Amino acid sequence: MIWLWILGGLCLALLILLLVGGSYLLFRFTVVRRRRRPAMADAPAPENDRSVWAAWRPVIEEGKAWFLAQGPEQVEITSFDGLKLTGFYLPCPGSKRTVLCFHGYRSDGWADFACVLKFYHEQGCNLLVAHQRAHGLSEGKYICFGVKERFDCRDWAGYLAGRFPGHALFLHGLSMGGATVLMAAGLDLPPQVKGVISDCGFTSPYDIMKHVAKNLHIPTFPFLPLTRVWIRLIAGFGLKEAGTLEALKKTRLPVLFIHGTSDDFVPVWMTEQNFAVCASEKHVKIQEKPAPLMPGKSHPPP
Q: In this model, does residue 300 exceed pLDDT 50?
A: no
pLDDT score of 18: 80
Predicted confidence band at 19 (pLDDT cuts at 50, 70, 90)?
Answer: confident
Q: Summarize pLDDT for 188-198 with one digit per residue, the tens.
A: 999 999 999 99
Provide the residue ranges of all domains of the chain, joining segments of one domain with +: 57-287
pLDDT score of 49: 64
Region 22-29: mean pLDDT is 92
Q: How many CB atoms sit inside 10 A of residue 231's CB?
A: 25
pLDDT score of 90: 98
Q: Summarize pLDDT for 232-253 with one digit per residue, the tens.
A: 999 999 999 999 999 999 999 9
pLDDT score of 247: 98
pLDDT score of 188: 97
Q: In this model, does residue 77 exceed pLDDT 60?
A: yes
Own/partner pairs, 137-142, CB within 8 angstroms, 24+ separation: 137/40, 137/74, 137/86, 138/83, 138/84, 138/85, 138/86, 139/83, 139/84, 139/85, 140/33, 140/79, 140/83, 141/32, 141/33, 141/235, 142/31, 142/32, 142/33, 142/234, 142/235, 142/236, 142/237
**Single-letter residue type at 39:** A
Q: Can you say whether residue 19 is alpha, beta or left, with left for phi > 0 and alpha for psi between -120 and 50 degrees?
A: alpha
Higher pLDDT, 46 or 262: 262
Q: In this model, does residue 163 exceed pLDDT 80?
A: yes
pLDDT score of 50: 66
CATH second-level architecture of 57-287? Answer: 3-Layer(aba) Sandwich (3.40)
Q: Summarize pLDDT for 167-187 with one digit per residue, the tens.
A: 999 999 999 999 999 999 999
pLDDT score of 157: 98
